[in-house]
Chains A and B, each alone.
Chain A
Amino acid sequence: MQISGRDSNRYQTFTRRAALLAGVQGAAFLALAGRMYYLQVLKTDQYRMLAEENRISMRLLAPLRGNIVDRFGRVLASNRQNYRAMLVSEQTTDVEATLTRLSRIVEIDDFRKRRILRDIARSPRFIPVTVVEGLTWEQFAQININEPDLAGILPDVGETRDYPYGEEFAHILGYVAAVSDADLEQAQREDHRLLKLPGFRVGREGIERTYDRQLRGTPGSSHVEVNAYGRVIRELSKDPGKPGQELVLTLDLDVQRFAWERVKGESASAVVMDIHTGDIISIVSAPAYNPNLFNMGYPTAEYRKLLESPYLPLLNKSLAGMYPPGSTFKMVVAMAAAEAGISPSQRVHCPGHYSLGSHDFHCWKRGGHGAMNMHDAIKYSCDVYFYDVARRIGINAIADMARKCGLGQTYDFEVPGEKAGLVPTPEWKRAARGEVWHQGETVIAGIGQGYLLTTPLQLAVMTARIANGGYGVVPHLTRALGGELLPTRKAEYLGISEQALAIAQGGMNGVSNEPGGTAFRHRISEPGMELAGKTGTAQVRRITRAERATGVIRNEDLEWRQRDHALFVCYAPVHEPRFAMSVVVEHGGSGSAAAAPIARDIMREVLLRNPGPPQANMPPGRGNSSGAG
């Protein structure tokens, strides 16, 4: 076993070097083991955390939006199951074929199809894309039954906002709509993830917008395990979040529906409020729109119709419609006159017109009313009496009283879009137009024309303040939020004298309950339910001297836009007032013919549904009126 000599020295070198290489290998393996010890023992906590961050992804869960209910807890807005079909493109070999088969069950037009294909192209293949929403139960069931034929189609149930009464509450509740870029800009940073959830809706109009945060609720979260491509493998934990708060409104569903039935078909609005608390019992504006359609995107053709309609269905006329108050303003002028020292019994002769300088102002009654005291002037709505009184007390006295009655201002009402209207003064005219005030403008202000502008809500407030004995009641729409009663503003005493209030109340009683009153025909005759009202007919065009001479054209002969606005304000019951209301029928003609019957019917309904404490058999017309004559 001997190694030949010539090989021996290279063998020794080889052995030496082999030993060296073995050492190198050993050292290298020690280094590897050391590195593993460093990673897997010393740094393991840090890397474990990073691995968890990789693996676990938090998904927000949209909270259920809070219900909106009426004063008795009846649902006005809630969430309804939204049957929809999603498509997972990785589960089908041919997306087009699947859509074609689906279109045998649900109609999918070309526009919709293009949008679906675009959505699919944009998202990863395992992400479900919404194909159709708002399916009927029959369609949904059909899709479920045919699922084996519809490769890639995933039937799914989501939540969507539902307004069971549609148009009746459209202008008050408003609607929810998809989140816009502007919403994102306004939202706080921490809300962004919620707002970006697919299918999330925000309150866009009305109460839905005002109370959006409270109705929205607190989002829940779900911790899911995801793979490197973001695909969810399984759910690890779930926090359902907190649903939005329930909002209780002051509205009465039945009255609201009744009022809607009564005004629909007209371009009109009606407001009913509690004169003591300011609770709005009913507030309608016609025509309206279907808020349910905004949820999924209003069909374009339908929306264009809304935009182009001359009756402005998108406008909430009760808050944002501004009208000259017409004769409904006469109580304000009467009270201002009484405060200014004009005796209610002092008579003014009405020959049918009133001259100021070279200009003639006409009374609506061609032959004139004859000698009028303040009570009769309201009852018969004599224009000449108020021309004269207005000129004598001046515009500033009228404006002061108008503001006390709640005109020319907003009330921080819960529904956005409220308009302040206009109570004109010489200062206003100088500032706004740079012109001096003319006495003729004071004269026409006496009958609620000229620059005066009011909203139906303001007219209801004005009437309520007259009826409640001069307290500055403020209208509001919400009673409770999340089970907590909302504070109401205390009505301040306005400092209107009892005498002034009594003359206004008595005049209104005369209008409705005394024969010859302008709304006597449209009174409530049931004992204890009588109302006190005031008609108003606001002229929207100028009647020329020539037309006066040949005879004023009757409203029915004018085109719609040229006709007078018909107004009516009232409160009831006359002897123990609880409710006040206003009705405005745009271009409806005369207040007594077009607006008074509507107001009477609605008020009657309100009283029937809210029977007050039993009243003694009080004869009609007595009430608390002192100025009756």
Chain B
Amino acid sequence: MLDLRRFTGHDMRLSEKLGEFNWGFLLLLTLIASMGFAMLYSVAEGNFSPWALRQVARFAAGVCIMIIVAMVDLRFWMRAAYPLYAVALAMLIAVEIVGFVGMGAQRWLNLGVISIQPSEVMKVTLILALARYFHGLTLDEVSRLRNLVIPLGMIGLPVGLVVLQPDLGTAVLLIASGAILLFAAGLRWRFFIFAGIAVLAAIPVLWSRLHDYQRNRVLTFLEPERDPLGTGYHILQSKIALGSGGVLGKGFMEGTQSQLNFLPEKHTDFIFTMLGEELGLVGGVVLLALYFIVLMFSLNVALQCRNQFGRLLAMGVSMTFFFYVFINTAMVMGLLPVVGVPLPLVSYGGTSMLSLMFAFGLLMSVHIHRNLEISRGPSAFW
């Protein structure tokens, strides 16, 4: 009746793993992605090219990656955490040296056949590395200062490199993910309070070091009418598009703001606005609800997991996903400054889709291996 291997850490068979895979969760992700496909179809005035079809292909590839990653034993991911982090860090350094400029910042690394954004890769590997590090510490050890040097370094190095690119959005996301892992690992409250005060004190210094376009984005956010045809244009047009959509929206492919190009970047960062314009409050709330279910499921995976690595990993993935969704939607609604953060699963984009599906694969791996007990000490690593 009970398979003891589940509790003793013996390997599961592939068929068992496939049985444990939560297909309902994959369906949920597919639903969210499908809303993106529909919007990309609409942006192209009712055409599958150039965006919708490629997005479907990427999602399909992402699903494959997710299933494969989920099948791999969680202990392998734990062992691979540091090497993967090292590779991502190396790529970030490489992008600083040989990367090419896209969208006004150095973010892309050309690997022959494909171009990838190392910062996207770093988002996943940082969670992996921190989860592994805190797996090995007891609650008391977590809040010891000397034990904080390594994780802060792990966060600080990529953040520094990303800021150099300069990619403020990703830097903020990396800091947030790192902070969440420290928090979930049990770091004492007072550290967060001190850090908060330190950040507030550092704001004037940071402000003076921001690029002009970044400073403009913040100023424009605070007062969008400051320059309605310049930097304020994005926020203003986005709000007009959302607001004019009303409760039921203007109808699929009928959004005037989007179809007549008043709305910028509508297939990438502002895709939620387009959805809100064409499908209205109803469409927007449905999408947000789907996201919320994904988040609650992910948190549940974390809570159900019996090993700290899995818990932290699931929590990290879940919270990173949350940050993406929240920052993007709050930005297009005019609640946050314009930062280049895509709407996960929906925005057109390759690397972010694939790294996200990789992360969901890790989450599913945690779910499948939730009953695995992994020793805290170094002996746990073969």
Contacts and interface: CB of A to CB of B under 8 A. Distances in A.
A37 B280 CA distance: 10
B246 A50 contact: no
Interface stretch (B15-23, B215-223, B298-306): B298-306
A32 B329 contact: yes
Interface string A1-45: 101101101110111011001100110110111011101110110
Contact of A41 (B183, B247, B262, B291): B247
Contacts of B206: none
Contacts of A39: 239, 242-243, 276, 333
B35 interface: no
A320 B188 CA distance: 101
A229 interface: yes
A229 B329 CA distance: 26
A22 B139 CA distance: 21
A206 B246 CA distance: 58
B9 to A, nearest CB: 13
A229 B186 contact: no
A9 B186 CA distance: 10
Main secondary structure, interface of A, reads: helix
Interface in B221-254: 237, 239-247
B373 A22 contact: no
A229 B261 contact: yes
Given A29-B288, A40-B276, A10 B186 contact: yes
A517 to B, nearest CB: 83
A23 to B, nearest CB: 11
A40 B245 contact: yes
B175 interface: no
Contacts of B280: 40
Interface in B288-326: 288, 291-292, 295-296, 299, 302-303, 306, 308, 311-312, 315, 319, 322, 326
A51 B288 CA distance: 24
A47 B239 contact: yes
B1 to A, nearest CB: 14
A25 B288 CA distance: 11
A534 to B, nearest CB: 74
A44 B244 contact: yes
B240 A25 contact: no
Interface stretch (A188-196, A220-228, A288-296, A606-614): A220-228
B242 A7 contact: no
Interface string A32-66: 11011101110110111011101100000000000
Given A54-B257, A54-B260, A233-B260, A32 B244 contact: no
A229 to B, nearest CB: 7
B326 A40 contact: no
A36 B186 contact: no
A54 B276 contact: no
B361 interface: no
Interface centre among A4, A6, A41, A44 (most CB of B within 10 A): A44
Contacts of B373: 4
A227 to B, nearest CB: 4
Contacts of B292: 25-26, 29
Contacts of A3: 306
B335 A35 contact: yes
Given A7-B308, A9-B139, A225-B260, A36 B326 contact: no
B260 A21 contact: no
B98 interface: no
A18 B315 contact: yes
B172 interface: no
Contact of B139 (A10, A33, A229): A10
A22 B330 contact: no
Interface in B70-129: none
Given A18-B299, A228-B260, A36 B276 contact: yes
B54 interface: no
B377 to A, nearest CB: 10
Contacts of B142: 10
B58 interface: no
Contacts of B329: 32
A526 B316 CA distance: 118
B243 A47 contact: yes
Contact of A14 (B237, B247, B311): B311
Nearest to A226: B260
A40 B240 contact: no
Contacts of A28: 322, 326
A6 B244 contact: no
Contacts of B243: 39-40, 43-44, 46-48, 50-51
Interface string B180-201: 1001111000000000000000
Interface in A423-442: none
B44 interface: no
B344 to A, nearest CB: 14
Contacts of B7: 1
Contact of B241 (A17, A51, A233): A51
Contacts of A48: 243-244, 246
B31 to A, nearest CB: 17
B337 interface: no
Contacts of A18: 184, 299, 302-303, 315
Interface string B265-302: 00000000000100011001100100110011001001
A13 B262 contact: no
B348 to A, nearest CB: 19
B179 to A, nearest CB: 11
A47 B260 contact: no
B171 to A, nearest CB: 20
A51 B257 contact: yes
B285 A36 contact: yes
B139 A55 contact: no
Given A33-B288, A229-B261, A47 B281 contact: no
B242 A36 contact: yes
B260 A227 contact: yes
Contacts of B186: 10, 13-14, 17
A366 B186 CA distance: 136
Nearest to B315: A18
A3 B371 CA distance: 10
26 contacts: A1-B7, A10-B186, A10-B308, A14-B185, A14-B311, A18-B299, A22-B295, A25-B322, A29-B292, A32-B335, A36-B276, A37-B281, A40-B245, A44-B243, A44-B246, A50-B243, A51-B240, A52-B244, A54-B256, A54-B260, A55-B256, A55-B262, A225-B256, A227-B259, A228-B261, A228-B262
Interface of B: 7, 138-139, 142, 180, 183-186, 237, 239-247, 256-257, 259-262, 276, 280-281, 284-285, 288, 291-292, 295-296, 299, 302-303, 306, 308, 311-312, 315, 319, 322, 326, 329-330, 333-335, 373, 376
In the A-B complex, the 6 residue pairs with the smallest Cβ-Cβ separation, listed nearest first, are A47-B243, A51-B244, A227-B260, A228-B261, A10-B139, A13-B186
Given A29-B292, A40-B247, 7 more contacts: A6-B376, A15-B303, A31-B335, A35-B330, A47-B242, A48-B243, A225-B256
Interface of A: 1, 3-4, 6-7, 9-11, 13-15, 17-18, 21-22, 25-26, 28-29, 31-33, 35-37, 39-41, 43-44, 46-48, 50-52, 54-55, 225-229, 233
